A and B are shown apart, each in its own frame.
Chain A
Amino acid sequence: MLLTILPQLTFFIILAAGIALFAMNVRKISRNIKLGRDLNRTDQPGRRWNLMARVAMGQTKMMVRPIPGLLHLFVYVGFVIINIEVVEIILDGLFGTHRLFAPFLGDFYNFLIASFEILALLVLVGVVAFFIRRNIMHIKRFRQPDLNGFPRNDANIILLVEVLLMSAFLSMNAADLILQGRGAEHYEVFGSFPVSQVLVPLFQNWSTDSLILFERFMWWFHIVGILAFLNYLPYSKHMHIVMAFPNVWYSKLEPKGQLDNMEAVTREVKLMLDPSAQPEEVSGPVKFGAKDVQDLTWKNLMDAYSCTECGRCTSECPANITGKLLSPRSIMMKTRDRLEEVGKNMDANKGTFSDDGKSLLHSYITPEELWACTTCNACAEACPVNIDPVNIIMQLRQQLVMEESAPPASLGTMFSNMENNGAPWQFSPNDRGNWRDEA
């Protein structure tokens, strides 16, 4: 008895462990995101669902660049649809069945399996093309130094795993098809295999026992591979497949050029302009701008986890195009790196952050990067998942200016001019209307 249910038991343990581990890591990410400042992004839910349907599910911003957009669509649709097959595989694993859905679905099952196979092939085409784009073609955004080290390996690991998973799926089906033809036990005739039938000649001469072993091995490899990949996500840029959807839902709906006004400053300015006004009660010390990840908003932090380091932002950034140090992609990557570091620090210190003498500003992001930004919003426009790097840059600039009093000297002069003359240049406010009298 135990021997017959051993595969099911093993499967159950692997599945439960895989899901539990992923859930634990997701909770950590969720906790890290919640370290950010409060921000209301739940207004206008109708508009938000619509935006998510178009931008995240509909991939509209990916299609701005049609070639990678289409290749990505193959992989994305393949991933989503093939997950239906994964449901069957999981149920088969738990109940010890083989192709559980087949008897219930009849011809539709054949259609499904055929669709999965065609999608798997398209995924392979997309992934191989991505590999070539990243490693062989000279596409600047994939060659830039901000991807050096793990990020570049990460991208290739993801592509390799996708090739392995799709290959396992197709070769498993090819073996199944041959076994069905030989009338092997448990391999009833189900499904339609337009892609894997091409692989049949490779295995035609194998013995039935070898084929069963091979089919089982690929079945296990595929599903265990999926669970392992699931648990790789939290450490990888590939987490975007989960984060893209909420991140677009919580997008900024206001015009891109609009920056929020700091309420703490509004209170102070009102007091300065009207000394008779009653000061409002403020709890806790007020910080101006952001020095570390905890000072940013939770949406800035969610942005960081949603970034898949595609570099479309950086490729459109006027500062980066002209050789400056700033790369919006790097701003997002550094924010995530620092947030992960803060999270690990908390894990090691019973849930509270112990000062490590580092901060996002200075330890990760330098003033030189921040001051190169023209706030043109090309990065935010280019981002397929509506990440807003400018918002982080602005908060770090506020820290530099209002807390550290360290603007570039020429900006300090501009501030003085504005304070004294109401203009960024040194002109008398009395001369404002003079243009009317000049020929």
Chain B
Amino acid sequence: MELNVKTFAEYLAAGDTPEILFWVGCAGSFDDRAKKVTKAVAKILQAAEVKFAILGQEESCTGDPAKRAGNEFLFQMQAMQNIMVLNGYEVKKIVTACPHCFNTLKNEYPALGGNYEVIHHSQLIEQLLKEGRLQVEGGQFKGRKITFHDPCYLGRSNGVYEAPREVLSKLDAELVEMKRCKAKGLCCGAGGAQMFKEAEAGNKEVNTERSEEALELKPDFIAVGCPFCNTMMTDGVKHAEKEDSVTVLDIAEMIAQAADL
């Protein structure tokens, strides 16, 4: 099925304005695993009849990994160029499935002239469910055991703990918490530009540590809300040779699957 997702430019050419911009992000655009999440988000937005657009080729990396790797020049170059595009389209509201993009757009763009209402996809899905624009029942997740891994840049960094849990609670599943959850959640190991480099010498990989913690709960699914966490937790589950019994899914994928989208 081809998704009929329009760009902001296409909307404007048709004399229309979308209500929200879907910031896809680099992982969501290029990483095969993350692209599935992107499609799930798009399907959810379409099912809820949200008028949304993407930037397409006009989107560029927010600059988050450059900034956290110490390259402030590159970060601000990226940020200023993105802000020019966003302000050019008079974007008011942005949703993104990447907590790193979310944090950067929401917190670091305003001082550079980019002021938008930025929400994470879990927050938008929560809102759509609450407003009744999206209906979901447990489906294949009914009665199954799910544990949610908090993304650092959504949870601790921005205090969003409840929206993803609220969304997952609609799946009629058994939600279990890891000991280190919410404000005490353990990082997957990918933040701060770690995604793009080898880890320093140690006695364990961070994602192994975190995946083991999740697997101790014997869940059927590990729910994530970040493309990097998705990669790290998937690798961790594979490392523990549990990929046949435990599936790592983004909350958007779970909602899309449960709603048969």
Contacts and interface: CB of A to CB of B under 8 A. Distances in A.
Contact of B202 (A254, A324, A401, A414): A324
B24 A411 contact: no
B152 A377 contact: yes
A256 B68 contact: no
Interface residues of A, number: 71
B74 A423 contact: no
Nearest to A272: B77
Which has the most chain B C-beta neighbours within 10 Å: A256, A378, A402, A418? A418
A410 B183 contact: no
Contacts of B183: 381
B3 A436 contact: yes
B44 interface: no
Which has the most chain A C-beta neighbours within 10 Å: B59, B76, B79, B103? B76
B72 interface: yes
A428 to B, nearest CB: 9
Interface in B190-207: 190-206
Contact of A262 (B61, B72, B107): B72
Contacts of B3: 436
Interface stretch (A73-81, A174-182, A351-359, A367-375): A367-375
B193 A411 contact: yes
Contact of A257 (B31, B73, B103, B210): B103
A13 interface: no
B76 A269 contact: yes
Contact of B200 (A289, A325, A394, A400): A325
A349 B183 CA distance: 46
Contact of A398 (B28, B72, B106): B72
A259 B54 contact: no
Contacts of A325: 200-201
B66 A415 contact: yes
Contacts of B152: 257, 374-378
A273 interface: yes
B156 interface: yes
Which has the most chain B C-beta neighbours within 10 Å: A268, A272, A410, A415? A415
Contact of B107 (A258, A382, A401): A258
A432 B157 contact: no
Nearest to A432: B29
Nearest to B68: A375
B67 interface: yes
Contact of B71 (A321, A381, A407, A408): A407
A323 B197 contact: no
Contacts of B124: none
A425 interface: yes
A368 B197 CA distance: 13
Contact of B187 (A255, A376, A397, A437): A376
Given A255-B159, A371-B197, A423 B72 contact: no
A397 B78 contact: no
Contacts of A437: 2
A273 B68 CA distance: 22
Contact of B74 (A257, A410, A415, A427): A415
Nearest to B79: A261
Contacts of A268: 73
Interface residues of B, number: 79
A424 B72 contact: no
A257 B77 contact: no
Contact of B72 (A270, A288, A410, A413): A288
B74 A418 contact: yes
A423 B111 CA distance: 22
Contacts of B218: none
A334 B76 CA distance: 30
B191 A397 contact: no
Contact of B66 (A418, A435, A439): A418
B249 interface: no
A374 B192 CA distance: 4
Interface in B62-98: 63, 65-81, 84
Contacts of A256: 156-158
A435 to B, nearest CB: 4
Given A256-B157, A261-B112, A423-B29, A410 B191 contact: no
Contacts of B197: 371, 408, 410-411, 414
Nearest to B201: A324
16 contacts: A255-B157, A255-B159, A269-B76, A269-B77, A270-B80, A318-B210, A319-B200, A319-B206, A323-B202, A374-B152, A382-B184, A402-B71, A410-B196, A411-B193, A425-B31, A433-B29
Given A257-B107, A394-B68, 5 more contacts: A261-B112, A375-B191, A381-B184, A419-B74, A423-B30
Interface of A: 64, 254-262, 265-266, 268-270, 272-273, 288-289, 316, 318-319, 321-326, 368, 371-378, 381-382, 394, 397-402, 407-408, 410-411, 413-415, 418-419, 422-425, 427, 429-439
